[in-house]
Structure 1
Amino acid sequence: MNKETIKTILEKSFTDFTSFTDTLSDHRFIVSPEGKWSAGQQLDHLIRSAKPVNTAMGLPKILLRFFGKPVSRSRSYEQVAESYRQVLQHGGVAARPYIPPVTEAEQRGILQLQFHQQKERLLQQIEQWTEEDLDKYQVPHPLLGRMTIREVLYFTAYHNQHHLQTLEQREQRNPSWSEQLERALF
């Protein structure tokens, strides 16, 4: 994928997640059924995940050389997504800095704003990179090891979609939230 295509899939992944969470009531936004992260916590997690990508992309490229040169070509979007699915299947979980605290309904607007800001910053950052540089520099990922900047961008788009699918599946298969709350309380 070229930069424009990457920007398109990133934009879509952020927008799709926001569009879905906007449909949730405050109650459904903050409730974490069955010990899983709530929609608010997942939003917080995605913000925490996007921040280091933005930070790395904003660093002088000479500093990124600290992480070495990629030894192979950038993997495709699907290869990165498959690597992530494999890690999750084998027990991979979010590292401590990416684990969100419990969210409150009052935080919703702030989290949505921060998520939007991370998206906008990321889209602007991409403009500062050449196609060649996306494959020339790499950074560490806590679960997937060293990845080129292009691969990290693929991961970010897929990661947003992964969390969106998790929320969508929860909505489809579970009884209504009021029924779940009733079960939990009584």
Structure 2
Amino acid sequence: MHKDEIADLLEEKYHALLNFLEVQDNEKWTKGPEGKWTTGQQALHLLQSIKPLNDVLSMPRFFFKYAFGKNDRELYDYDTIVQNYQKALKENNDFVFKASKNMKIPKLKDKTYILSRLQVESKKLQYKIRRISDKNLDTLVLPHPLMGKMPIREILMWTAYHVEHHTKQLQENY
């Protein structure tokens, strides 16, 4: 997938999420289905996953090679990344991203701030995607907490799917 397509896909997925959250009943921000995260926790989780990605993409490129190595395999397409992620979720049903373990329920007064931060971080990521070289997208890798090291291009495609995954959960269950 071309980097402009990835940036556009992220725009689309975050737009759908934010539109849904802005019109959703405020009561659902602090309440969720039994044993599941609240809407606020879902939004906070997405913020906790995009913020570190933006932070690391601001670092010098030599850091990536030193810290994580280089890609040594063929790139996966979007559908393969989605299938691999769904398979990993099934195999690790109790897995929760470290930053999202024991997450407190965000207060309703924090909703506007969290949604605003999600929008800003999404725009920052889209900007960074368009500026990074195709070579770096394909050769530099980052660690994914569930799926291991992935080329940056794949992490970005996964990020778009991750937003869609949580948006669908919210639309179907909240």
TM-score, scaled relative to structure 2? 0.94
Identity %: 28
* SS in structure 1 at match of 2:132: coil
Shift of 1:96: 2.1
Amino acid corresponding to residue 19 of structure 1 in structure 2: N
Q: How many residues align?
A: 171
Amino acid corresponding to residue 130 of structure 1 in structure 2: S
User: Which residues of structure 1 form unaligned runs of 5+?
Assistant: 172-186
Residues in 2 aligned to 1:74 and 1:153: alpha-carbon distance in whole angstroms: 12
CA contact (8 A) 1:29 1:40 kept: yes
Decide which moves more: 87-96 or 112-121: 87-96
User: Which residues of structure 2 form unaligned runs of 5+?
Assistant: none
* Corresponding residue for residue 176 of structure 1: none
Kindly indicate whether residue 83 of structure 2 is the aligned counterpart of residue 82 of structure 1: yes
CA-atom RMSD in angstroms: 1.2
Shift of 1:51: 1.1
Decide which moves more: 40-49 or 53-62: 53-62
TM-score, scaled relative to structure 1? 0.88
Kindly indicate whether residue 110 of structure 2 is the aligned counterpart of residue 107 of structure 1: yes
Shift of 1:56: 1.8
Residues in 2 aligned to 1:2 and 1:81: alpha-carbon distance in whole angstroms: 17
Kindly indicate whether residue 35 of structure 2 is the aligned counterpart of residue 32 of structure 1: no
Kindly indicate whether residue 154 of structure 2 is the aligned counterpart of residue 151 of structure 1: yes
Quick check: which has more Rg, 1 or 2?
1
Residues in 2 aligned to 1:95 and 1:160: alpha-carbon distance in whole angstroms: 15
Amino acid corresponding to residue 76 of structure 2 in structure 1: R
Amino acid corresponding to residue 40 of structure 1 in structure 2: G
